Chains A and B, each alone.
Chain A
Amino acid sequence: MATLATYFRKDEAVFYSEEAAAVPVRRPVSRAADPYRLRTLPNEDVYFFCKRIDNSRIQKQKDPRSVQQCWSAIGAFALLAVLLAGALAPTVWGTFAGYQLQALKQERQHLLDERSALEVDEATLVSPARLEKLAREQRLLQPAPGQVFHLDPHADGSLALNLHK
């Protein structure tokens, strides 16, 4: 780990790591007496040394309680996450539903506008003037008085052969 102290005291760190046991701790030189030296840098009096630890003989002791605690913690966090998600989900869902709703509203309005336009088109197409023009083109004649029979539909909706019923 490189720290500010190791940066300024690299040589000492190496030295202590290799000969920590053998070499006595060298005290920092007091610089107060030297007026030409710069002021003390922060953490100057912090030093590092390496200590060799042999933990190869250490065996981890079984601790079922810690496992349980670990799972409990995981469960708690999971529960919290679910609760948080549950709390936020309606808002998020509402936002997305709002987008969808507005889009559907726009589509509905668009369809209504389209229907209005189609109704105008339909009414224009079946206007009496246009129908008469088409009839003239096809050389159709006006029906004579009494020539048109209006059939009343049966209960089942059929129209055929009920003229005299």
Chain B
Amino acid sequence: MPVQVLITGIAARDKQAPRSYVLASTRRLTWLAAAALLWAGIIFSKLVSLQVLHHKEYARLARQQQELKVQIPAPRGPIFDRLGHPLAMSMPSESVFVNPLRLPDMGVASEILARILSLDAADLHNRIRWAYEHQRGFLWIKRKISRTEAEQLRSLHLEWIDFQTDSDRHYPNGALAAHVLGSVDHDERGNAGIEMSLDGELRGHAGEELMLTDVRRRGIDSHLATQAHAGMPLTLTIDSRIQYAAERELAKGVQAQHARSGSLIVMNPYNGEILALASYPSFDPNEPPKPREEASRRFDLAVSVPFEPGSVFKVVTLAAALETTSLNPESPINCNNGVLRLPGRVIHEAHRGFGVMPMHEVLERSSNIGAIQIGFRVGPQNMYEYVRRFGFGSSTGVGLPAESAGLFRKLNRWGKTSLASISMGQEVSTTSIQLARACAAIANGGLLVKPRLLLKNGDQVVPASAPKRILKPETAITMRQMMEGVVISPHGTGHKNARLEGYTSGGKTGTAQIFDIRTHHYTHQYNASFMGFAPVTNPALVIVVTINGTTGSAGYGAGAAAPVFKAVATEALRVLDVPKDLPDAAPDRKEPPSVDANDLAIADLGSSEPNVMEELAAQNAGPATDTASPKVPNFRGKTMRAVVEESSATGMPVLLEGSGIARFQVPSAGSVLREGERIRVEFAR
């Protein structure tokens, strides 16, 4: 089939074109080529500029656009108890912030955020407006929000809501071991307890990775810029079961006595491991400190707050006597029938006088004069030496912040009656942990151990410090037997409340009047304490209980602190699975009528020496003054009627004793009367 083909042809004009036309075409072509060359040259030069001259800058800008810096979280190290139960742990949380300058509508934004985050919308609106007016490009809306809140906010897909990943510290057991653990601030820096003292180990160091992203900011590739280092997990010596029992029983004991506060330590006497350390009142470290919260709730009373120990200190006096004198438990001690005259002062027995009795009974009955007589036999030099040996006056190094060293004056600053005072636990201030260490030295055979709270740092077991021998083993054994007598002897002060069922135990009660720094006088409130151990033959634990602010005869160490010791020791021994060394039902000994639980170390001795607590307070915080409280008037020389009238007029309560003319008053004239305190006025003819 023939095909019709359209054939094009060009007239042979070119052949006939004039020379000028050819020249014009050539010129045009030349210009075109030149333009193309120029264009290519410009492009090439631009390429050289982009790829060679400004390569680094553009590469940086490209990276900025394509790469995203992503923080690699490094959570704070968890804290476990000795059984591996978590006491503190960190969990990632998110915080919400906005750029107030980019908000489409402040009112709507406030409403949305306030509704989901349970905030006050008006307050939030004001905050956003303030930030906007002050040209702030960043505003925290709420930090550490819950997972539900974060999910709700994310589901809104609002581009002006930004999130930052944070870490939130959780204490799953609430207030358990709060004083040991401490707490952290908003930035997870420790501000108390172990959290503070071992902050360096616990705190992690966040890493950073650079993520290559696509246009939708989805990650494609990433490489590590900085390695993240998670915080070191710490294992404490605390046993959460014993800790819980300790806190529970301490709270019961303080509440039963209507006392102010209390502390309790349970320690392994052989290696110094602290199994429980409790203070009452306590706090929940999950909650930040409230503005009007009582600051003392966060004080670690067992470690940071020293007190005059009272009769529990007699243990040190007797141990020194066994080592430095010829006295033995059966040596007769003359207790002067309850009255001892010293240069410038007369000392009375706390309750009733004793005659001559063996040394072990001095401890069992907690005779002040007996302890003083023994202290005289020891002498000031030896007494000073042994008190120091037991570690009083220096901090234990337990590893908690703000540990107090207590106060024990140097020998050259002792007064005429200092030896007498120290022998019965006055003129020296100690912390509960110092007492626990001293008691452990007796319980373990004479070795002074260093109390410790840290069992493992990561996977590394922290070795215990080498103990230091301070007593001969035979002395320690003798002391253990004498302290057992306090509990098992019918006239022992701890006989009624410190005996354990199924286990032998030893200990010492103590009651010390609380010195009021503001009024410069001893009050009628006591520090009731008990330090003891169980079982006697091979002690598994040492327990020191102190209850502060007890009153009346029920508030002595035997009545207030010993029952707490008994309850905690019973549970701790069961938990630790310590073999019993007594039949389950302890023989019910008859209470002889002579049992006297009064072990009060009489503090109001009229000593001219400055009080040790006053001196300690002056060292720590300077002299305390209270100008708001009323001053005590001088009642001396006045009749009872005049005293009553004056006290009624001033509103100061008085306690009148005797008849005749006012001869003596406590507090003395001119001192500040504390709230709730009464003026005791003695009248005589």
Residues B218 and A145 in contact, CB atoms below 8 Å apart: no
Which residues on B sit within 8 Å (CB–CB) of A113? Answer: 91-92
Contact of A87 with B by CB under 8 A: no
Residues A47 and B1 in contact, CB atoms below 8 Å apart: no
Comparing B2-10, B99-107, B516-524, the segment that makes contact with chain A is: B2-10
Residues B220 and A98 in contact, CB atoms below 8 Å apart: yes
Q: Which A residue's beta carbon lies closest to that of B87? A: A123
Residue B174 contacts which of A1, A119, A129 (CB distance < 8 angstroms)?
A129
Contact of B89 with A by CB under 8 A: yes
Given contacts A116-B91, A128-B176, contact A145 B211 (CB under 8 A): no
**A117 and B218 alpha carbons, distance in the complex (Å):** 26
Residue B92 contacts which of A95, A99, A116 (CB distance < 8 angstroms)?
A116
Which residues on A sit within 8 Å (CB–CB) of B91? Answer: 113, 116-117, 120
**A106 and B75 alpha carbons, distance in the complex (Å):** 17
Q: Which A residue's beta carbon lies closest to that of B14? A: A45
Residues B5 and A50 in contact, CB atoms below 8 Å apart: yes
Residues A146 and B9 in contact, CB atoms below 8 Å apart: no
Residue B2 contacts which of A5, A13, A53, A144 (CB distance < 8 angstroms)?
A53
Q: Which B residue's beta carbon lies closest to that of A118? A: B91
Which residues on A sit within 8 Å (CB–CB) of B657? Answer: none
**A94 and B220 alpha carbons, distance in the complex (Å):** 9
Task: Tell me the minimal C-beta distance from B408 to chain A in angstroms.
Answer: 37
Residues B173 and A129 in contact, CB atoms below 8 Å apart: yes
| Chain B positions 446 through 487: 1 when the CB is less than 8 Å from some CB of chain A, otherwise 0 | 000000000000000000000000000000000000000000
Which residues on A sit within 8 Å (CB–CB) of B248? Answer: 132
Q: Which B residue's beta carbon lies closest to that of A116? A: B91
**A138 and B7 alpha carbons, distance in the complex (Å):** 108
Contact of A17 with B by CB under 8 A: yes
| Chain B positions 169 through 212: 1 when the CB is less than 8 Å from some CB of chain A, otherwise 0 | 01011101000000000000000000000000000000000011
Residues A17 and B4 in contact, CB atoms below 8 Å apart: yes
Tell me how many residues of B have a C-beta within 8 Å of chain A: 47
Tell me how many residues of A have a C-beta within 8 Å of chain B: 46
Contact of A150 with B by CB under 8 A: yes
Residue A127 contacts which of B89, B147, B174 (CB distance < 8 angstroms)?
B174
**A1 and B7 alpha carbons, distance in the complex (Å):** 10
Residues A146 and B173 in contact, CB atoms below 8 Å apart: no
Which residues on A sit within 8 Å (CB–CB) of B5? Answer: 50-53
Contact of A102 with B by CB under 8 A: yes
**A150 and B174 alpha carbons, distance in the complex (Å):** 29
Given contacts A50-B4, A98-B219, A145-B502, contact A127 B172 (CB under 8 A): yes
Contact of A42 with B by CB under 8 A: no
Residue B584 contacts which of A3, A116, A132, A144 (CB distance < 8 angstroms)?
A144
Residues A99 and B240 in contact, CB atoms below 8 Å apart: no
Task: Tell me the minimal C-beta distance from A72 to chain B in angstroms.
Answer: 31
Residues B244 and A54 in contact, CB atoms below 8 Å apart: no
Residues A126 and B2 in contact, CB atoms below 8 Å apart: no
**A52 and B222 alpha carbons, distance in the complex (Å):** 69
**A52 and B7 alpha carbons, distance in the complex (Å):** 10
Residues B86 and A145 in contact, CB atoms below 8 Å apart: no
Given contacts A47-B9, A113-B92, contact A150 B4 (CB under 8 A): no
Contact of B13 with A by CB under 8 A: yes
| Chain B positions 219 through 241: 1 when the CB is less than 8 Å from some CB of chain A, otherwise 0 | 11110000000000000000011
**A113 and B92 alpha carbons, distance in the complex (Å):** 6
Contact of B149 with A by CB under 8 A: no
Residues A117 and B574 in contact, CB atoms below 8 Å apart: no
Q: Which A residue's beta carbon lies closest to that of B90? A: A116
Task: Tell me the minimal C-beta distance from B455 to chain A in angstroms.
Answer: 18
Which residues on A sit within 8 Å (CB–CB) of B244? Answer: 128-129, 132
**A60 and B577 alpha carbons, distance in the complex (Å):** 108
* Interface positions of B from 558 to 576, Cβ below 8 Å from A: 570-571, 573-574
Q: Which A residue's beta carbon lies closest to that of B244? A: A128
Contact of A46 with B by CB under 8 A: yes
| Chain B positions 150 through 180: 1 when the CB is less than 8 Å from some CB of chain A, otherwise 0 | 0000000000000000000010111010000
Q: Which 3 A-B pairs have the closest CB atoms?
A: A102-B219, A123-B172, A128-B244
A to B CB contacts below 8 Å, 10 in the list: A46-B11, A47-B8, A47-B9, A53-B5, A99-B218, A102-B220, A106-B219, A128-B173, A142-B574, A146-B580
